[in-house]
């Protein structure tokens, strides 16, 4: 029996071993492929301020110098003046995301978004994906003592949802 079966019976081997109480989702790279959005934002911002004599950065430069690096100063500019329509062109849900979210919700599982993205960015991405009402909580790494890759944000989510680590599944990109 697949864990994604339409029936939710306690007889399944997974259900007997560890009944699922909650699902935690990373945001960037898990709910959506946000790298193209980040690349576009940085390319535009750097071009606007005349970086590299106004010549746009390429993807290689972005990957080598920007991708995966955490900086509160640069994160604040990811969505400076974008309207919803423009942002939607670059932020698409991972294939199968809405089917998975329906499965999780139909089973009454608790759920939280756990991310190192700044809260306004995380909330905007979640909203643009149509998942604002899906999550019971959103935990932000910078609001914890230590951000990911430390477990603190996930531990905070478990506490906020009042669930145990033994009965929680985590999707991390």
pLDDT per position as a tens digit, 105-154:
999 999 999 998 888 878 877 887 888 899 999 999 999 999 999 999 99
Smallest CA-to-CA distance from 122 within 153, 101, 86 is with 153
Enter the pTM of the model.
Answer: 0.65
26 counts as catalytic:
yes
Q: Which of 68-72, 79-83, 90-94, 131-135 has the highest mean pLDDT?
A: 131-135
Measured CA to CA in angstroms, residue 148 lies from 35, 96, 103, 121 at distances of 18, 25, 27, 16
Q: Is the pLDDT of residue 41 over 80?
A: no
- Is domain 13-33+91-171 classified as CATH 3.40.50.1000? yes
All CATH 3.40.50.1000 domain ranges of the chain, comma separated, are 13-33+91-171
The catalytically annotated residue of 28, 35, 136, 152 is: 28
């Amino acid at each position: 029996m697949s864990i994604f079966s339409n029936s939710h019976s306690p007889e399944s081997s997974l259900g007997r071993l560890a009944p699922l109480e909650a699902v935690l989702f990373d945001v960037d790279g898990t709910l959506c492929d946000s790298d193209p959005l980040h690349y576009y934002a940085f390319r535009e911002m750097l071009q606007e301020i005349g970086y590299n004599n106004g010549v746009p950065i390429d993807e290689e430069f972005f990957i080598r110098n920007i991708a995966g690096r955490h900086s509160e100063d640069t994160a604040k500019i990811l969505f400076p003046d974008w309207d919803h329509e423009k942002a939607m062109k670059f932020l698409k849900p991972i294939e199968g995301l809405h089917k998975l979210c329906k499965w999780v919700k139909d089973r009454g599982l608790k759920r939280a978004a756990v991310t190192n993205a700044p809260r306004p960015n995380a909330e905007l991405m979640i909203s643009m994906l149509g998942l604002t009402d899906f999550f019971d909580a959103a935990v932000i790494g910078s609001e914890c003592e230590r951000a990911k890759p430390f477990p603190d944000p996930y531990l905070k989510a478990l506490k906020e949802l009042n669930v145990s680590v033994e009965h929680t599944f985590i999707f991390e990109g």
